[in-house]
Amino acid sequence: MSNYSITKLENGFTIYELSESSTSSSVRICPERGGIAISLVLHGKELFYLDEATFLDREANIRGGNPILFPICGQLTDAQYEWNGVIYPMKNHGVARIKPWEVAGSSTDGQASLTLILRSDAQTLASYPFEFELEFTYILKDGKLRLEQQYRNHSNSAMPVYAGFHPYFATTGKAVRYETDATSYLDYNDMETKPIEGAIDLAGKVESLTLLDAKSREIAFPLDDSTRVRMAYSDVFQYVVLWSVEGKPFICVEPWMAKTHELNRKEELPLIEPGATLEAWLEIGREA
């Protein structure tokens, strides 16, 4: 019997479950709802939080899993930005996170993988005037999830992109000691930069925190006494954002390519040249 399998499930939407039997690991992906991973079990432990009501509501932004943020992370001033003299509206975290993605391929040869594609259309062009194609491949292997990404610019001008992810990790603790070489963070609750000294406590915080000056593209943190998560990611993800909601059993630990409002500021805005592709990756593992 193969170590790897892919199963189609139905729960209001079609869900693809990638499984690795030797490590008791699996990931569930819903192409119709923004290409999101809604469950991640590594070595028998569920890592993700999911508010199922928001998942099943086709118009809602999903609270849980690992939403895909593109072409922006975070917010824009007055939910809009200017590009080449034109004002465009854009919702928080961009245009991709609830759009239906196309299944382009799958494999159980040496790993369980699923490739999804999202292309620009009339709806995305109204907010983001660029022809693009995203190709994301989820790979489950050796008890880890890897998400390989390709961001392609099919426009005739440079395309601004600061993408990222918004993983919700299931935990009741809000004060967490993060393993990171970042030495400070920007607290958006009072707009002050603060040193990292031991655990960072998200209790009572409404707005997010952004870790600054990290040189290593890796962060680790405990969810409970027996579960520790380690995330690694491409150099293009310059920041990690921390966020939670009081009374909800999760923390979000989010790799971003730039800080919130960057499409308004345009101070460190990544650009993809016409015809070019930006490649990136994210890996999530569990340490007992």
pLDDT digits (tens, 9 = 90+) for 88-106: 999 999 999 989 999 999 9
In this prediction, residues 147-157 reach a mean pLDDT of 98
Cα distance between residue 166 and residue 62, in whole Å: 10
**Could you tell me if 260 and 74 are in contact, meaning their C-beta atoms sit under 8 angstroms apart?**
yes
Domain count, the chain: 1
Peptide bond into 71 cis (omega under 30): yes
Residue 288: is its pLDDT beyond 90? Answer: no
Cα distance between residue 188 and residue 206, in whole Å: 9
Q: What was the pLDDT predicted at 223?
A: 97
Residue 228: is its pLDDT beyond 90? Answer: yes
Residues of the domain holding 232: 4-287
Cα distance between residue 222 and residue 229, in whole Å: 6
255: domain CATH number? 2.70.98.10
pLDDT digits (tens, 9 = 90+) for 158-210: 999 999 999 999 999 999 999 999 999 999 999 999 999 999 999 999 999 99
Kindly tell me the burial class for residue 51, based on how many C-beta atoms sit within 10 Å of its own C-beta (0-12, 13-18, 19 or more): middle
- From residue 202, alpha-carbon distances to 194, 206, 209 in Å are 14, 8, 9
Whole-prediction pTM value? 0.97
**Could you tell me if 255 and 280 are in contact, meaning their C-beta atoms sit under 8 angstroms apart?**
no
pLDDT digits (tens, 9 = 90+) for 27-61: 999 999 999 999 999 999 999 999 999 999 998 99
Q: What was the pLDDT predicted at 155?
A: 97
Q: What was the pLDDT predicted at 11?
A: 86
Smallest CA-to-CA distance from 244 within 215, 221, 218 is with 221
Residue 12: is its pLDDT beyond 90? Answer: no
Q: What was the pLDDT predicted at 98?
A: 87
